[in-house]
A and B are shown apart, each in its own frame.
Chain A
Amino acid sequence: MEIDEAPQKVDIAARIVTPGTAITNDPAFMRGHGTFSEHDTIYSSVAGVVERINKLVSVRPLKQRYSGEIGDIIVGRITEVASKRWRVDVNSRQDGVLLLSSINLPGGIQRRKSESDELQMRTFFAEGDLVFAEVQSYFADGALSLHTRSIQYGKLRNGTLVTAFPQLVPRSRSHFHTLPCGVDVVLGVNGYIWVSKHVPASKVEANAELIYSDKNEPISDDEREVIARVANCIQLLNRMYVKITDTSIIFAYDASVAHPVKDLLKHDVAVELAHNVMAYLEQQG
């Protein structure tokens, strides 16, 4: 524990701490998330890994609800239609807010939202609908403000939701993937993952009404099975605590072909597949 005698030599980062563990009493450090100070000593307030950026010390918990950052791409579920806004469950400590002014209207025309738009908000998003959105800003109380002002964002259809630990979904350049098995996957960094039938973007662009449609496309039994397999693969990666990226999903899918879909979540099969995926990811570096 005596890390304080030679702060230059001993790196305080990458250490696993538990709540109430003293991290440092060097006054040069600033305390960040997951820490608190008492009598000039910085203590950890969660169980996790110590991280240091210059003079800022923070503790990253190994399991926690999603905490948003601006620019994050997320999947959320509408919980309430309020005046000029929707409340969205984003797996965070508070519901996010999607303002009527931060969605695109069908037809793609940019205009001020009128009173008639306010009255027909439920035709765009109703309670229980899933949205694919981006974090635009924070409100003063810390709630997230979302927007769907892009052709790729909007209502999610034709698929199933899988819930994972948010820390398993890394932030990356792209969160929308079309897998080689013919399935679209939206990896929300908040841990909500949408697996759906592949629909070419050109089809949606051609018909603006489709953006807010509640009707699924016809989905054949084979397509359903592939969606279910991908969903189960993600579920097993989550259970085995493996990072969920397009590469890990594709590999888990390829490795899972030997087993029927319903067996994928059985413990021994899941362990075997997860080990294969981890070994593969390590090989890839």
Chain B
Amino acid sequence: MSRQELLSPEGLRVDGRRANELRRISCRASVLNSADGSSYYEQGNTKVLVAVYGPREPRTKSLAQHDHAAVNVEFNVAPFSTSERRKRSKGDKRLLEIASFVKQTFQGAIQTAVYPRSQIDIYIHLLQHDGGTLETCINAATLALVDAGISMVDYVCACTAGFIDETPVLDLNFVEESSIETPDLTVAVLPRSGNIALLQMESRLHSSKLEDVLELATEGCKHIHKKLDQAVLEAANELAKKLS
């Protein structure tokens, strides 16, 4: 089987983007009534729904910590999210891994010390899968947490970048991601300080190339930050107008 061409000689990718272009992002906060905060987030064809409950009384006493809130993340993939229908069990290691990544990422950003003896639940549902699961989950969760009015030091913005034919490429889709030769790096940053909250890669990449790829991904994060901030401001302005 011949190798699929991921980057044409003209510098275009399989979906027609250039190497440094993000997919189209559209997002909305406050989409659910019963949750304290919620968001719907699309990045290209990857679609995620997030509900945040809390800070609230911990479901079990053992979770209560006297000096900070416990953060609980659950990640679920809809059976219809891929072209091949597939039901995953709740204990699927892949799902638990992503949930724990999201949890680790937000533990640094949420001011958990403000909410002692409480619990913050983040429920993430992947509705449609087209690559970049972790980045979309983190971005959507940020939006839902801000919507819930939970104190955070900063937004957390995540982006992926890969390396195809000696060129760093931004925001891989499913086709690019599943090619074996493409290393794919996910980075989550706190845009104000530029601190990195998460850096994850499962494939091999020459160390001299890492810096370029990381820089491109960070650039993507800044772009996503603008998008998220815009969505939050829009929602806030609307609410403030109604309240006044």
A239 sits at the interface (CB 8 A): yes
- Find the residue from A19, A62, A243 having the highest chain B CB count within 10 A: A19
Contacts of B56 in A (CB 8 A): 65, 93-94
- What's the Cα separation between A61 and B148 when bound, in Å? 9
For the complex formed, measure the closest distance between the CB of B49 and the CB atoms of chain A, giving whole angstroms.
18
Cβ-defined partner of A63 (8 Å) among B55, B116, B149, B192:
B149
A102 sits at the interface (CB 8 A): no
A142 sits at the interface (CB 8 A): yes
**A18 touching B233, Cβ below 8 Å:** yes
**A93 touching B152, Cβ below 8 Å:** no
Assess A20 versus B155: contact at CB under 8 Å? Given A62-B243, A63-B239, A241-B242. yes
**B243 touching A142, Cβ below 8 Å:** no
- What's the Cα separation between A243 and B239 when bound, in Å? 12
**A142 touching B117, Cβ below 8 Å:** yes
A89 sits at the interface (CB 8 A): yes
How many residue pairs link A and B with beta carbons under 8 A? The number is 98
**B115 touching A63, Cβ below 8 Å:** no
Closest to B146 in A: A47
Contacts of A89 in B (CB 8 A): 57
A46 sits at the interface (CB 8 A): yes
Number of residues of chain B lying within 8 A (CB) of chain A: 38
A240 sits at the interface (CB 8 A): yes
The residues in A between 42 and 68 inclusive whose CB is less than 8 angstroms from any CB of B are 43, 45-49, 61-65
Assess A19 versus B153: contact at CB under 8 Å? Given A45-B111, A46-B146, A239-B33. yes
A184 sits at the interface (CB 8 A): no
- What's the Cα separation between A243 and B244 when bound, in Å? 9
B147 sits at the interface (CB 8 A): yes
- What's the Cα separation between A47 and B57 when bound, in Å? 23
A34 sits at the interface (CB 8 A): yes
**A93 touching B118, Cβ below 8 Å:** yes
**A20 touching B153, Cβ below 8 Å:** yes
B97 sits at the interface (CB 8 A): no
For the complex formed, measure the closest distance between the CB of B68 and the CB atoms of chain A, giving whole angstroms.
12
**A65 touching B55, Cβ below 8 Å:** yes
Cβ-defined partner of B236 (8 Å) among A20, A62, A79:
A62
For the complex formed, measure the closest distance between the CB of A249 and the CB atoms of chain B, giving whole angstroms.
17
- What's the Cα separation between A61 and B145 when bound, in Å? 12
**A63 touching B36, Cβ below 8 Å:** yes
Closest to B55 in A: A93
A134 sits at the interface (CB 8 A): no
Contacts of A36 in B (CB 8 A): 111, 151, 153
**A20 touching B151, Cβ below 8 Å:** no
- What's the Cα separation between A46 and B56 when bound, in Å? 17
A141 sits at the interface (CB 8 A): yes
Closest to A91 in B: B56
For the complex formed, measure the closest distance between the CB of A98 and the CB atoms of chain B, giving whole angstroms.
14
Closest to A243 in B: B243
Contacts of B152 in A (CB 8 A): 19-20, 45-46
**B242 touching A94, Cβ below 8 Å:** no
- What's the Cα separation between A45 and B197 when bound, in Å? 17
The residues in A between 130 and 189 inclusive whose CB is less than 8 angstroms from any CB of B are 141-143, 167
- What's the Cα separation between A62 and B233 when bound, in Å? 11
A81 sits at the interface (CB 8 A): no
**A62 touching B239, Cβ below 8 Å:** yes
Contacts of B232 in A (CB 8 A): 18, 47
For the complex formed, measure the closest distance between the CB of B30 and the CB atoms of chain A, giving whole angstroms.
7
For the complex formed, measure the closest distance between the CB of A232 and the CB atoms of chain B, giving whole angstroms.
14
Assess A48 versus B236: contact at CB under 8 Å? Given A19-B154, A94-B117. yes
B66 sits at the interface (CB 8 A): yes
17 further A-B contacts with Cβ under 8 Å, apart from A48-B236, A64-B149, A167-B243, are: A18-B146, A18-B236, A19-B146, A19-B154, A20-B152, A20-B155, A46-B149, A47-B147, A47-B233, A62-B239, A62-B240, A63-B147, A63-B149, A65-B36, A93-B57, A94-B117, A94-B118
A-B contact pairs, 28 of them (CB 8 A): A16-B233, A16-B236, A16-B237, A18-B236, A20-B152, A20-B191, A34-B151, A43-B192, A45-B111, A45-B151, A46-B149, A47-B146, A63-B147, A63-B239, A64-B148, A65-B55, A79-B57, A89-B57, A93-B115, A94-B56, A95-B57, A141-B117, A142-B116, A143-B117, A239-B33, A240-B242, A241-B239, A242-B242
